[in-house]
Amino acid sequence: MNPIVNCVAYCNGERVASVAIDQIAEVLAHNDRFIWIGLREPTPELLTQVQNVFGLHELAVEDALSAHQRPKIEQYGDSLFVVLRTAYMNSEQRSIELGETHMFLGAQYIVVVRHGASLPYVGVRARLEATPHLLRKGPGAALYALMDFVVDQYVPLVDALEQELQTLEEAIFSESFSRETPAQIYRLQGQLLQVKRVVSPLIDICNRLTRVDYNILAEETQPYFRDVYDHVVRINEMVDTQRELLTTALEANLSLMSIAQNDVMKRFAGWGAIIALPTMIAGIYGMNFAVMPELNWPYSYPLVLALTLIFCTFLYLRFRRTNWL
Q: Are strands 109-116 and 95-106 parallel, antiparallel or unpaired?
A: antiparallel
3-state secondary structure of 115: strand
- The predicted model scores a pTM of 0.78
Q: What is the per-residue pLDDT for 103? A: 93
Q: What is the per-residue pLDDT for 178? A: 67
Question: What are the beta bridge partners of residue 85?
Answer: 100
d(CA 160, CA 239): 12
d(CA 186, CA 180): 10
- pLDDT averaged per 10 residues in sequence order, the chain, 325 residues: 84 88 85 89 89 90 85 90 87 80 91 85 88 89 92 90 84 70 83 90 90 79 90 92 85 74 78 82 75 74 81 80 75
Q: Is residue 15 within a helix (H) or strand (E), and if so which, with residue range? A: strand 14-18
87 neighbors 7 (Cβ within 8 angstroms): no
Question: What are the beta bridge partners of residue 35?
Answer: 9, 109
DSSP 54-99: HT--HHHHHHHHH----SEEEEETTEEEEEEEEEEEETTTTEEEEE
Supply φ then ψ for residue 98, to 5 degrees: -110, 150
Domain 259-321 has CATH 1.20.58: yes
DSSP 18-50: E--GGGHHHHHTSTTEEEEEEEES--HHHHHHH
* Nearest alpha-carbon partner for 37 in 77, 86, 4: 4
CA pseudo-torsion sign 294, 299, 301, 302: negative
* Nearest alpha-carbon partner for 162 in 84, 249, 232: 249
Q: What is the per-residue pLDDT for 1? A: 63
Q: Where are the domains of the chain?
A: 1-131, 259-321
CA pseudo-torsion sign 246, 249, 255, 256: negative
CATH architecture assigned to 1-131:
2-Layer Sandwich (3.30)
* Nearest alpha-carbon partner for 158 in 115, 119, 190, 192: 192
- Dihedral over alpha carbons 122, 125, 130, 131 (to 10 degrees): 150
Q: In this structure, how many other beta carbons lie within 10 angstroms of the beta carbon of residue 205?
A: 20
Q: What is the per-residue pLDDT for 296? A: 73
d(CA 69, CA 102): 9
Task: Give buried/exposed letters for 52-65 (b at 16+ CB in 10 A, else e).
Answer: ebbebbeebbebbb
At how many degrees (to 10) do helices 154-172 and 222-285 cross? 20
